[in-house]
Amino acid sequence: MSADTLPIRPFTQPVRVAFSVPGSKSITNRALILAAMCNQTLTLRGALFSRDTQILCEALKALGFSVDANAAQSTIALTGLGGKIPRASAEINVGNAGTAARFLTAFLTLHPAGTYTLDGDPAMRKRPMKGLMDALKTTGATFTFHGEPDCFPFTLHTKGWTHCTALEVDARASSQILSALLMVAGAQPHSVAVKLVGKTVSEPFVEMTLQMLTQFGATFTQPESGLTTFAGTSQLQLPSETYRIEPDATAASYFLSLPMVAGGKVILPEGEQITLQGDIDFLKPLAKTGLTVAKANGHILIEQTKESFEPVEYDFEAISDTFLTLAALSPLLSGPTRITGIGHTRHQETDRIRAMANELQKLGQMVVEEPDAIEIHPDLAELYARADASKHCGRLLCVDTYEDHRMAMSFAILGSYDLLQDGQPWLQIRDPKCCGKTFPSFFQHLEQLHSLPEMNIEFLLIAVDGGAASGKSSTSRGVAERLNLMHVDTGSHYRAITFECLKNGIAADAPEKVAAFLKTLSLDTQLVGRTASIVTGGHLPEPEALRSAEVNQHVSAFAALPCVRDAVKGYQRSQVAVAQENKYVGLIMEGRDIGSVIFPEASLKIYLQADEATRSKRREAEGQSDTIAQRDRIDSTRKTAPLQVAPNAVIIDNSTLSLQQVIDKIATLAIPLCKQA
């Protein structure tokens, strides 16, 4: 098997998981452009870190903007300059990122006298740009093409927007062309009218652009269909210094479909708060297949309640990025799948209709390809026969992905179906790394949903991580109380070891001494109420001793030592057995690396955060002297098990939430995951 293919492990047990996906690519890249036109420093929280967003960040840096990206915390801080672009010339490569290509080209025309050279991947050189370039010529901008006319690569000479009050645009080929113009037009201090010639595709994305412009303070009217008139705004501005990026609804579509292949249920936490992304409507065709879609306390629950899945006919024009998700699963439906309204996807990452038809045919499905539609007549028996025959030859069926991330992710879900009923892979995905475009950790996410079967079915495992004083202990204790779980505070493990080392005159800068000492130190457990406390060297440490100023000061240095982490890892995992012996229905464990290292298979992972001022106040209110910022820095930058948002983790910012509100939020996520539910 060649190195650039990935076999997909099928699910042999029903899934039971609440998951989160990275931030929306479309919103992250729009927010970057809008933030660059504000006159403030804005922190995007929950931002996507992927090739497409990195391309835009790098381009903004090349143009002289200050961009501070922190992948572990999913934040990007960007200082906007009120519509000014610092550098008058730059060379920029947009890869194959459609949003970066269109948004940047429009954004660059803001400069009153700029000269910019842009290029992209070979695939990008073929993607439609003409409508955008023609419209931008109205501002006085000129283009010199170095390859095919109206395509990348080109040099752009800009004149600013001072004299541009109206422009017309043909965005039939891509709604990104219209969105790019709307963002720049909406940031002008004077009125600008944008007139659409003909129609565009994927209207929800235009809606997203307009809604985000409104959030950033732009005002507009739409006096007639296809005409948007901006009133002019002195300055794009957000009322707050942070902007929360919604989780990516398209990326979510893969996991929302999992109950179809694995059975069970998945929860999309706070799914109802996805309001900017049209792709959340993928739930509609999904419900048509017979999956049960329900909403509870803002969360969205998808459950497999029927044995077979209904055929679906659906117009995907408004949600075309998700058509591949359904098409790839069409072999599992009981009748034909007909997907219409997708002609424009022939000009995206690849000709998506053709690519989908090719691969489904290779899997033995009967496919009718039309200019703007695809119809698949399922043949599961043939798929089985081909997979079985390949297996007997020691091979797996292989799906080609055409450098299209959505092909890879869609077919990975089909491959998660236990077709041969032996739990062994039967399908492999060529070039899985193409997911890096929008979802670099996709396969890691998918793999982590393979929970330890007995744990997933019989036992509820909740991982809670976060920085110092983010509320982990109090929240976890409350959730444990509510759901009859055992509670483990792993911070106390590191504190107890720190305390014992200091007591014995051993410092963190002598790791070999620490390692030797740990070999002699026994670690046991004693239940105090429902909290499982660590017993070191036969003694239950005093709570005050563990929270002394001295321990506060040194604990992070000890916790960063690989020998310390090795010593506690097995101990922490053994707490599942302690909880089971004591008849708890589950375990909630809190710390820094619980979702990422100790229990990556947890059914529910929570990442708590609160702004630093709030956390310092909380510690002061408790009368503790603490070095929160210093500990957070050591904890998140250390090599071993750094503090980070684990894949699938649900981020809850509790800066303005009461303890009770956070406990409620977690409990409503966890209850449907309990075996009894």
Catalog residues that contact ligand CDP under the rule CB under 6 A: 466, 468-475, 490-491, 494-495, 555-556, 559, 591-594, 618, 622, 631, 635, 654, 657-659, 662
Task: Read off φ and ψ for residue 268, nearest 5 degrees.
Answer: -100, 105
- For the CB of residue 662, give the shortest distance to ligand CDP in the complex, in Å: 5
Sheet holding 292-296, edge to edge: 15-18, 264-268, 299-303, 292-296
- For the CB of residue 225, give the shortest distance to ligand CDP in the complex, in Å: 47
β-pairing, 397-399 vs 166-169, is unpaired
- For the CB of residue 299, give the shortest distance to ligand CDP in the complex, in Å: 19
Cβ proximity to ligand CDP: between 470 and 603 the closer is 470
Place of tokens 């110092």: 468
Amino acid at 404: D
607 close to 651: Cβ distance less than 8 angstroms: yes
Cβ proximity to ligand CDP: between 270 and 303 the closer is 270
Tokens of 215: 């959030």
Give which of 136, 100, 142 is closest to 120, Cα–Cα.
100
Q: Is residue 635 among the annotated active site residues?
A: no
Nearby residues of 313 by Cβ (< 8 Å), 6 or more positions away: 337, 338, 340
158 close to 114: Cβ distance less than 8 angstroms: yes
407 close to 435: Cβ distance less than 8 angstroms: no
Cβ proximity to ligand CDP: between 119 and 635 the closer is 635
- Dist. CA 96–CA 349, nearest whole Å: 7
Please state, as a whole number, how many other Cβ atoms lie within 10 Å of the Cβ of residue 323: 29
Cβ proximity to ligand CDP: between 26 and 556 the closer is 556
HSE-up (13 A, CA, CB side) for residue 453: 7
Nearby residues of 282 by Cβ (< 8 Å), 6 or more positions away: 249, 250, 253, 256, 319, 322, 325, 326
Q: Across the strands, what pairs with 18?
A: 267
- For the CB of residue 48, give the shortest distance to ligand CDP in the complex, in Å: 26
- For the CB of residue 470, give the shortest distance to ligand CDP in the complex, in Å: 4
Place of tokens 């073929």: 126
- For the CB of residue 671, give the shortest distance to ligand CDP in the complex, in Å: 20
**Residues 321, 489, 632, 653: which is the catalytic one?**
321
Sheet holding 531-536, edge to edge: 523-528, 531-536, 485-489, 586-591, 460-466, 604-609, 650-653
Cβ proximity to ligand CDP: between 334 and 661 the closer is 661
Tokens of 293: 């879609």
As a residue count, the chain comes to 677
580, exposed or middle or buried, with CB in 10 Å at 0-12, 13-18, 19+? middle
Cβ proximity to ligand CDP: between 578 and 657 the closer is 657
- For the CB of residue 466, give the shortest distance to ligand CDP in the complex, in Å: 6
Cβ proximity to ligand CDP: between 473 and 531 the closer is 473
Cβ proximity to ligand CDP: between 165 and 474 the closer is 474
- For the CB of residue 23, give the shortest distance to ligand CDP in the complex, in Å: 23
Packing angle of the helix pair 25-37, 203-215 (nearest 10 deg)? 40
Annotated catalytic residues are 321
